[in-house]
């Protein structure tokens, strides 16, 4: 059997891998077109279909070139969970609702999410920009503390995006989130406590907030 050489001129580059072995590629000997019903880039959950034209000058040879107009993303870039590059599940186990603000969420900038007491919110983003996104939550003090200082706490996570994936560029410690056991200032009389599901460097993570006297 002759060796098949694939010349993949996809503008997004990188290697192509079949995402589902049940979706078999089909070659038509009359049109000399190879149909690939499902593929992915570097194992991404974003899949696509594509057709490749055999441009070999001699019959029986195989030299394929991508037909750019046939590339179809599933789902389209920027829609649905497949395009999400990072997410933080935030659970409010304090005694007051608080707001979280994302500089870039899913297809939207400057999104504010209010998290009621006892509930969890998924703060997701589909950023593909090097500037990434910043998630900031303003934790409220416990109701049992009189004349709470500060009036609101500050929690922040900074993310960037490169090499086809998101990264934590500055976690809450790096951002000097406060008041906590480790970061607090003179006069502070309460703190928030974080319970992480994974290390803070993970871009798909969960955190639970509680508050207490300092």
In the 3-class helix/strand/coil scheme, how is 84-133 assigned residue by residue? CCEEEEEEECCCCCEEEEEEECCCCEEEEEEECCCCEEEEEECCCCCCCE
Confidence of residue 44 (pLDDT cuts 50, 70, 90): low
Class of domain 81-213: mainly beta
Give the least confident one: 67-71, 160-164, 175-179, 188-192. 67-71
Please check the confidence at residue 47 and state whether its pLDDT lies above 80.
no
pLDDT in tens, 149-170: 999 999 999 999 998 899 999 9
Domain ranges of the chain: 5-74, 81-213
Using an 8 Å Cβ cutoff, are 106 and 126 in contact?
Answer: yes
pLDDT of residue 46: 57
pLDDT in tens, 116-128: 999 999 999 999 8
Strongest mean pLDDT among 26-30, 71-75, 205-209: 205-209
Give the least confident one: 79-93, 109-123, 139-153. 79-93
CA 63 to the chain's CA centroid = 36
Tell me which H or E stretch contains 66.
Answer: strand 63-66
pLDDT of residue 16: 42
Confidence of residue 73 (pLDDT cuts 50, 70, 90): low
* Average pLDDT across the chain, whole number: 84
b/e sequence 23-41, b meaning 16+ C-beta within 10 Å = eeeeeeeeeebbbbbbbeb
Tokens for 150, please give them. Answer: 């500060």
């Amino acid at each position: 059997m002759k060796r098949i050489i694939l010349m993949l001129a996809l503008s997004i580059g990188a290697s192509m891998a079949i995402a589902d072995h049940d979706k078999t590629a089909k070659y038509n000997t009359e049109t000399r077109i190879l149909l690939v019903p499902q593929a992915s880039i570097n194992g991404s959950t974003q899949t696509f279909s594509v057709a490749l034209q055999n441009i070999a000058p001699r019959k029986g040879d195989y030299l394929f070139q991508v037909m750019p107009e046939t590339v179809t993303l599933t789902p389209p870039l920027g829609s649905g969970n497949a395009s999400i590059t990072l997410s933080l599940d935030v659970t409010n186990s304090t005694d007051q609702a608080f707001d979280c603000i994302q500089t870039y969420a899913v297809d939207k900038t400057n999104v504010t999410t209010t998290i009621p007491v006892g509930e969890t919110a998924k703060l997701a983003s589909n950023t593909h920009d090097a500037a990434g996104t910043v998630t900031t939550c303003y934790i409220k003090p416990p109701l049992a503390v009189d004349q709470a200082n500060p009036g609101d706490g500050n929690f922040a996570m900074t993310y960037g995006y490169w090499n086809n994936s998101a990264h934590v560029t500055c976690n809450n410690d790096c951002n000097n989130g406060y008041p906590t056991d480790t970061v607090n200032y003179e006069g502070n009389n309460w703190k928030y406590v974080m319970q992480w599901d994974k290390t803070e460097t993970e871009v798909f993570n969960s955190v639970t907030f509680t508050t207490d006297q300092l």
